[in-house]
Amino acid sequence: MNQSQPIISFDMDNTLYDFSKNRIEVIQNSPDNYIPLSIKQQITHPEDFKEYNIASIIDYTGTNLHAKELMHRLKQLYQSNKHFFLTLSPYHGVIDTINQLKQLFDVYILSKPSTADTSNCATDKIMSIKRDFGIEREENINLSSKKTLFYSDIHIDDDPNILNTPLQPHRKRIIMDQPYNRHLLGPRIYKDKQEQRLSTIESVLSSSQSE
């Protein structure tokens, strides 16, 4: 850790990488006898993975599946895909953003690994980060289910459950815009606006240093 630089941490899935796009593709290509075609035709959006939306989709299609069983099947599809996390693509411009932020911050990537026995999630996530962002020090890649225990001056995430937890001392959070977190208030960045990402992060850093 470079003590002379502030620390910025990023969540990985749906913050740096388009996790939802790949997950939907895996589901759309799954066997019809595992996920009924009528269900697959309705799952086209990240919000569709919320349990209350899954229940609505089941009601709409008349499928004889319980919501929790369908959620389990959907999760198993991508977790059992051996190298699913190696196929994820970073959002447009995010590699350049990270490279520029390395001049200002000590950059860390935080992510929750899959616990599925068939998944190479942890290894593949580390390989993807090294491949795409040139972060070679594994101490800068933190795979843990307890992301809120890691201190950083600024943390960027899409998950409302993380964004709603109490702040650690001197820690700021920035919301990575997704449809499911638009009820949250606070500084926000967007996946298709590189210049806005940088200016928002620099503004939050400046305000935190003046406090």
Q: If you average pLDDT over residues 143-147, what whole number do you get?
A: 81
pTM of the model: 0.84
What pLDDT, on the 0 to 100 scale, is given for residue 2?
55
Q: If you average pLDDT over residues 187-199, what whole number do you get?
A: 89
Q: Which residue has the tokens 């928002």?
A: 200
Confidence class of residue 162 from pLDDT cuts 50, 70 and 90? Answer: confident
What pLDDT, on the 0 to 100 scale, is given for residue 147?
79
**How far apart are the C-alpha atoms of 139 and 77, rounded to whole Å?**
30
- 87 phi and psi, to 5 degrees? -90, -5
What pLDDT, on the 0 to 100 scale, is given for residue 130?
92
The b-or-e profile of 75-108 (16+ CB within 10 A means b, else e) is eebbbebeebbeebebbeebeebbeebeeebbbb
User: C-alpha distances in angstroms, 188 versus 48, 76, 108, 191, 203?
Assistant: 22, 31, 19, 10, 11
- 79 phi and psi, to 5 degrees? -70, -30
DSSP state of 7: E
Domain ranges of the chain: 7-17+94-206, 20-85
Residue 73 and residue 116 in contact, taking contact as beta carbons nearer than 8 Å: no
CATH architecture, range 7-17+94-206: 3-Layer(aba) Sandwich (3.40)
**3-class SS shares of the chain: helix, strand, coil, % to 5:** 45, 15, 40
Digit-coded pLDDT (tens) for 99-117: 999 988 999 999 987 766 5
Q: If you average pLDDT over residues 118-138, what whole number do you get?
A: 84
109: which 2 tokens? 């990537």
